[in-house]
Amino acid sequence: MWCYTFIISLLLINYVNCIDYGSYKHKSEYVTVREGAHMFYWLFYTTAPVEHYTERPLIVWLQGGPGGSSTATGNFNILGPLDLSLQERNYTWVKNFNVLFVDNPVGTGFSYVEDLSLLTVTNEEIAQDFVTLLRGFYSSNPEFEDIPLYIYGQSYGGKMAIDMGIQVHEAEVQGFLKSNLSGIAMGNAWISPVDSTLKWGSLLLAAGLVDQEGYEHIQTEAREAERLFNEGQYVNSTLQWAATQRAVFNRTTSVDFYDILTKMPVSAPDTRSAIEQARDMMIYDSPYVSNTERNEEWNLGNLMNTLVKELLEIPENVTWGSQSDAVFDALRGDFMKPVVKGIEKLLNETNIILTKYNGNLDLICSTPGQILWVDRLQWDGAEEYRNAPRLPIWEDNRLEGYYKSYGNFRFFWINYAGHSVPRDNPAGTNAFLRDMTSFG
């Protein structure tokens, strides 16, 4: 379906809300990636001052979770044209790029499976579906085949992006897919989960958010998650990771895992199990999932299942987010597995740019946890990267962070940002966007 200017109104409690995309041209479509498995994308064409939108790159945005919706959270919460107040976002990426939001894996957001047995259970299966999704996308939109393609994944989306990158590149080489994959970005990404978990305690201790006793308690729980993983008990390691989160909540009186300078708003005892609490935090991009929002903002689920569903003509039998919990649960055995070897493969065998960016206020995918696996990378430029200078990032006379690079790998430390850097620090975000794409 093609969408140009759409205004859809809904009368709610004596006032009218509507979605008005004005000059933002967009398109949405389903791609059947396997029999009974249907993946959904929502494309926004750039409004950059160019003669044709194909003069700008195509960026795929992947949300985390697994089970987090790109078309909802990535779009309305982070970088799409409109925010949750349905007002225009002045730093939307659509001003510089064509942006493709994908509800991935199948079962996420508006993507759905006809039977839950069709959900993916490994990162490799997720990547296979993504290649099929891209084939469907390029079949409908062949004008994008030759322009640079960049995959940006946040949190678990960054983990998924690595195997996607490998399989997209292989499909390009084999002639199975005509695309131009040029870069992959991992934003506060779940690359090496054990490393991330082991650094929670030390970051909290350094920030003064726990005392020595609290630190030792958290580390004991984290080391147990590591032990279970090393023994190959991957599902139990995931459950223990959730228990470690619960220990952090208890010892910090509910620090926000996505920004250590804030606390979770807690209005009632949390009756969810540790794994349910952790799952909800990963899927919904917040450690605290509330049924009420500020008066001027939409509840994301209500918005997607009313105005957006009508706008995009989603099938009546599809409910946004209804299978998201099942998506997370299906991947429990894969959740704690790292993708570091995949990064090494991409660095050693391709010219694809790999960018690691991290908001320094994040806890769940904290910068110290990222540095652990980065320093262990085995690739041709590893020694040169270690010896490369760490340079400041200045934007409008403000120090937004630092970066370090060699060859096709770079690391960006971003100040004034937590888990979601594009939302928290748009100015700092411009630095790594320009580095990879020349725009931003």
The active-site residue out of 26, 169, 217, 419 is 419
Superfamily of domain 2-191+335-437: Alpha/Beta hydrolase fold, catalytic domain (3.40.50.1820)
Locate 112 and state its tokens. Answer: 């759905």
Burial class (CB in 10 A: 0-12, 13-18, 19+), 147: middle
For residue 81, is the peptide bond before it cis, meaning its omega torsion is within 30 degrees of 0?
no
pLDDT tens for the chain, residues 1 to 440: 444 333 333 333 333 467 889 889 999 999 999 999 999 999 999 999 999 999 999 999 999 999 999 999 999 999 999 999 999 999 999 999 999 999 999 999 999 999 999 999 999 999 999 999 999 999 999 999 999 999 999 999 999 999 999 999 999 999 999 999 999 999 999 999 999 999 999 999 999 999 999 999 999 999 999 999 999 999 999 999 999 999 999 999 999 999 999 987 765 567 789 999 899 989 987 654 444 445 568 999 999 999 999 999 999 999 999 999 999 999 999 999 999 999 999 999 999 999 999 999 999 999 999 999 999 999 999 999 999 999 999 999 999 999 999 999 999 999 999 999 999 999 999 999 999 999 98
Is residue 362 among the annotated active site residues? Answer: yes
Active-site annotation holds for 419: yes
**Set 155, 179, 366, 405: catalytic member:** 155
- Residue pair 111/104 in contact (Cβ under 8 Å)? The answer is yes
* 326 CB neighbour count, 10 Å cutoff: 15
Q: Which of 83, 362, 424, 435 is catalytic?
A: 362
Q: Output b/e per residue, 350-375; b: 16+ Cβ within 10 A.
A: bebbbbbbbbbbbbbbbbbbbbebbe
At residue 426, the 3 state secondary structure works out as helix
Compute how many other C-beta atoms are within 10 angstroms of the C-beta atom of residue 116.
12
